[in-house]
């Protein structure tokens, strides 16, 4: 009788360890569909879609709570990619959420005017503004998503949105006009 209890205890411990290892090793990290949708979004965290960031919006899309056409920074390209991923028909951008900007912008702070109030730092969803209280602030251009959320809180209007300068990392070859005309008629 004692040997049976010991044998069952050992088996329970072995299977418990195996199940514990399998739970850790093969754990599904979040919803894979949410991850795929989030990967297609522009990660500006601007809130124009009425959600506090791209991840909550992705979760709402995956759960069927939000439509795919609420992201102005992503524009038509993102809407088409989301429609392909989810097997839905593409829709035009919802005008209530904003308009698609044809030129990407980045914030620039006029450092002579900046009073160091830190209101822009608090408003920036991606921590692209560097500075301290009562000190001059500056923008980390590579981190700035051009969401315009830093403009309204600035009491001295020292922040300006300027087009992103074209360089070898963001330059794209434009289609010839004839190719574009053929695509429109097709």
Widest pairwise Cα distance in the chain: 88
Task: Please check whether residue 95 is in contact with residue 154, taking contact to mean a CB–CB distance below 8 angstroms.
Answer: no
Looking at residue 174, its pLDDT comes to 66
Tell me if residue 109 falls in helix, strand or coil: strand
CB 68 within 8 A of CB 79: yes
Q: Please give the domain boundaries of the chain with CATH numbers for all domains.
A: 32-97 (1.10.15.40), 103-165 (3.30.70.20)
> How does pLDDT run along the chain (186 residues), one tens digit per residue?
889 999 999 999 999 999 999 988 888 777 889 999 999 999 888 888 999 999 999 999 999 999 999 999 888 989 999 999 999 999 999 989 888 877 888 999 998 999 999 999 999 988 999 988 888 889 998 888 888 889 999 999 999 999 887 777 666 666 666 555 555 555
Look-up of token digits 């097709």: 186
Considering Cα of 81, then 82, then 84, then 90, what sign does the dihedral take?
Answer: negative
């Amino acid at each position: 009788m004692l040997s049976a209890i010991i044998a069952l205890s050992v088996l329970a411990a072995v299977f418990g360890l195996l199940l514990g290892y399998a739970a850790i090793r093969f754990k599904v990290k979040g919803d894979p569909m949410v991850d795929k949708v989030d990967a297609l979004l522009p990660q500006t965290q601007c809130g124009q879609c009425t959600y506090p960031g791209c991840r909550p919006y992705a979760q709402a899309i995956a759960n069927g709570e939000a439509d795919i056409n609420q992201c102005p920074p992503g524009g038509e390209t993102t809407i088409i990619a989301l429609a392909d991923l989810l097997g839905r028909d593409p829709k035009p951008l919802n005008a209530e959420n904003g308009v698609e900007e044809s030129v990407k912008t980045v914030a620039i702070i006029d450092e002579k005017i900046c009073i160091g109030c830190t209101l822009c730092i608090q408003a920036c969803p991606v921590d692209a503004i560097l500075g301290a209280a009562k000190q001059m602030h500056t923008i980390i251009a590579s981190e700035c998503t051009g969401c315009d959320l830093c403009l309204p809180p600035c009491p001295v209007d020292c922040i300006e949105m300027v087009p992103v300068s074209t360089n070898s990392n963001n330059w794209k070859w434009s289609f010839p006009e004839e190719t574009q005309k053929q695509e429109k008629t097709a």
